[in-house]
Structure 1
Amino acid sequence: MRVPYPLGFYTKWMDGRIDDPAAGWKGRGLWATISTRTPFHMETGKGTTSKVMHFQLRPDPLAK
């Protein structure tokens, strides 16, 4: 998977999860964390903390 932003996206953990089976692709997703030993060296600078990101994967680009 290519993630355009942030540039320093290197995940150590990724998990797939189905929150709502009746919602189709909108109820599913991948969860990942962004964290390093020195988060202040990331693009956002001093005070940066680790983050959790949620990715929704559509069955095709035009899915609604």
Structure 2
Amino acid sequence: VDWCIELNNLFTKVKNGGKGSNHSVEWIILESPFVQIYQNLQGLVQQSFGHTHLMTNHVAPDMRKMFAKLQE
């Protein structure tokens, strides 16, 4: 858990610190919850796409009729 907090702090400072007046402690504190929400959503999307067993899986086509027709 500690490394997650440290990663969030680094991500907030480096990516969202801004320049000039945006590079302040107040701005970083304001943006910090949004960064955490974004990271949580990103993880949720990655996890959701990893669940291929929840998707519709079609059966393989039965090619016997086609092969029989081609052999005639």
The TM-score with structure 2 as length reference comes to 0.23
More strand by share: 1
More helix by share: 2
Task: Name which one, 1 or 2, has greater alpha-carbon Rg.
Answer: 2
Q: Which has the higher contact order (CA 8 A, sep 6+)?
A: 1
The TM-score with structure 1 as length reference comes to 0.25
